[in-house]
Amino acid sequence: MSVEQQVSQYYDTVLKRNPGESEFHQAVAEVLDSLKIILEKDPHYAKDALIERLCEPERQLIFRVPWTDDNGNVQVNRGFRVQFNSALGPYKGGLRFHPSVNVGIIKFLGFEQIFKNSLTGLPIGGGKGGSDFDPKGKSDLEIMRFCQSFMVELHRHIGEYRDVPAGDIGVGGREIGYMFGMYKRLANQHESGVLTGKGLTWGGSLVRTEATGYGLAYFTSEMLAAHGESFEGKKVIVSGSGNVAIYAIQKVQELGGTVIAFSDSSGWVECPNGVDVAKLQDIKEVRRERVSAYVDEVEGATLHTDGSIWDLPCDVALPCATQNELNGEHATKLADNGCKFVAEGANMPSTADAIEVYRARGIHFGPGKAANAGGVATSALEMQQNACRDSWSFEYTDQRLHEIMSNIFKVCAATAKEYGHEGDYVIGANIAGFKKVADAMLAQGVV
C-alpha cells in the first residue's frame, strides 16, 4: 500500500470514529498531510498502529456540571477533559469555558496540544478540557459556584503527575483560583503542581500571564529575521483582545511594530497610531467590558461592526481570537494588500483554505502549535518552580521563554529543510513535534 493510501485509511478511521467533529477532523487532516512526508522517508513510524494510536485519545471524560445561579435556579452544563497523549509527560493543556465547546472542539485542541507541547522540548503530554458554560454576563459568585462544581468531578482525574490543567478562552487567573481552592479542599493537600496559571502568592509563575503573547512576538521576530526583516516600522493586525492578544500587542509595540487593529466578538477597532495597552488592559482585564469602551476613551480609534479586520492593509497578521477566524478569502485579501507574515496566537485560527493561500502567495506562516507554544511552555516552567518550591525572577523566566521560542522556530525551520520543504513551518512543526512523541511511543510499547 502506498503512503498516500495508508494515510487516507488513517483519516477514514478518524472520520468514522468521530462523526460530526469537524474541527477535530481539520486538525488531524493537517497533521496527517505533513506526516506523509516523514512516512515516505521513515516507514518505521507506521509500526504498531502508531498513527492510529496517536489519533485516538488515551481517555475522554464527559461529565455533568450542575450549579445554582443567582436567582436560585439550577443550571446544567457539560464538562470535558480529553487526556490525549502521555508519552512525553503528564497530560498538559488548558480548560476552555465557552458556549461553543463540544467534544470535537476539545479533541482538536487536545490533539494540537500533543505536538505543541512536544515542540517546547519540556516533559509534558497533551490534553485539553473545558465546558459549554458561558462566563459572559455571569456574576463573580456564579463563576465561583460553576468552577467549584466543575472541580468536584475533575479532581478525581488530575494531579501533579497525572494531568495538569490551565487556562484557555474564558478561564483566567480568577477561574484557576476558584478551581485550585476546591481541589485543595477535596484533596486535602496544597498540591501546587496540579494547575498552572496560579496567582503569584500561591505557586504561580511570573511571566505566565504574558507568556503566550510574548512568545508569539518572539517567534514572529525569529521568522521575520529569517527573511531579513524585523518588527521595526511594521503595521501589525492582532485579532482578539484577550490575554494572548493584549500581551502580543504589548511586545510587538516594544519591538518597534505598530498594532493598527484588534477586536472582540462585538467588532474590531482600527487604531492607526498604535494601541494604548494600559487602557486596553483596564477595559478587558479589570472592567471586563467590550472594545467599544476603548473607542469612547481613546482619540483616533474607530469601531467597525461590519467588514473584516483582515481587510485592513498590514505587513504582519497575528490572529489571536479563536479557531477558523481567518478563511481563504481573508487570506487572499491579506496577500492582495501586501501582508507577508502571518503567525497564530490562537489555536487553529486559519482554515485549511487560508493555509493554501499562504502557500500559494508566498506568505511566511507560523502555525499556532509552534507560534503560541509560549503559554504552555511557561506553564511547564511554573511546574518546575512548584516541583522545587522556588520562584524565579521575571527576567530569568522571560529569558527562558525567549530561548524556548527561538529554539522552536529553529527546529521548525531546520526540520522543514531536512524534509525538503524549506520555509514551510507547518510541515516543520508537525514533523518535529511528531518525531519526539512517536519515538517515545515506540520505546514505550503498545499501551
Residue 166 contacts ligand GLU per CB under 6 A: yes
Are 45 and 39 in contact by the 8 Å Cβ rule? The answer is yes
**Residue 275, SS3?**
coil
Contacts within 8 Å (CB) and 24+ apart, 61-69:
61/129, 61/157, 62/103, 63/153, 63/154, 64/153, 65/131, 65/133, 65/146, 65/149, 65/150, 65/153, 66/149, 67/142, 67/145, 67/146, 67/148, 67/149, 68/145, 69/142
How many alpha carbons lie under 13 Å from residue 395 in its C-beta half-sphere?
0
- Binding pattern for the stretch 359-388 against ligand GLU, x by CB under 6 A and - elsewhere: ----------------xx--x---------
Burial class of residue 247 (count of CB atoms within 10 Å of its CB; 0-12, 13-18, 19+): buried
Please state, in angstroms and rounded to a whole number, the distance separating the CA atoms of residues 368 and 72.
Answer: 41
Residue 304 CB, nearest distance to ligand GLU (Å)? Answer: 28
Are 416 and 428 in contact by the 8 Å Cβ rule? The answer is yes
Which residue number, 221 or 323, has a Cβ lying nearer to ligand GLU?
323
Are 110 and 126 in contact by the 8 Å Cβ rule? The answer is yes
- Binding pattern for the stretch 273-292 against ligand GLU, x by CB under 6 A and - elsewhere: --------------------
Please state, in angstroms and rounded to a whole number, the distance separating the CA atoms of residues 286 and 284.
Answer: 6
Residue 219 CB, nearest distance to ligand GLU (Å)? Answer: 13
Could you say which DSSP state residue 85 is in? Answer: E
Residue 168 contacts ligand GLU per CB under 6 A: yes
Asked whether the CA dihedral 439, 445, 446, 447 is positive or negative, the reply is negative
Which candidate in 36, 41, 128, 435 is catalytic? 128
- Binding pattern for the stretch 323-362 against ligand GLU, x by CB under 6 A and - elsewhere: ------------------------x---------------
Residue 315 CB, nearest distance to ligand GLU (Å)? Answer: 26
- Binding pattern for the stretch 224-263 against ligand GLU, x by CB under 6 A and - elsewhere: ----------------------------------------
Which residue number, 54 or 166, has a Cβ lying nearer to ligand GLU?
166
Q: Under rule CB under 6 A, which residues in 93-122 are in contact with ligand GLU?
A: 93-94, 116
Q: In the annotation, is 128 catalytic?
A: yes
**Residue 397, SS3?**
helix
Residue 210 contacts ligand GLU per CB under 6 A: no
Please state, in angstroms and rounded to a whole number, the distance separating the CA atoms of residues 7 and 240.
Answer: 35
Residue ranges of the annotated binding site for NAD(+) are 212, 243
Which residue number, 163 or 276, has a Cβ lying nearer to ligand GLU?
163
Residue 204 contacts ligand GLU per CB under 6 A: no
Residue 92 contacts ligand GLU per CB under 6 A: yes
Residue 88 contacts ligand GLU per CB under 6 A: no
Q: Spell out a b/e string for 283-295, using b for 16 or more CB atoms within 10 Å of the CB, else e.
A: bbeeeeebbebbb
Q: Residue of minimal CB distance from ligand GLU?
A: 94
Residue 126 CB, nearest distance to ligand GLU (Å)? Answer: 10
Helix ranges restricted to H, 42-135: 50-55, 103-119
Stretch that binds ligand GLU, among 89-97, 135-143, 263-271, 323-331 (CB under 6 A): 89-97
Please state, in angstroms and rounded to a whole number, the distance separating the CA atoms of residues 62 and 157.
Answer: 12
Residue ranges of the annotated binding site for substrate are 92, 113, 116, 167, 379
Catalytic residues: 128
Q: Could you list the residues that contact ligand GLU (CB under 6 A)?
A: 92-94, 116, 166, 168, 196, 347, 375-376, 379
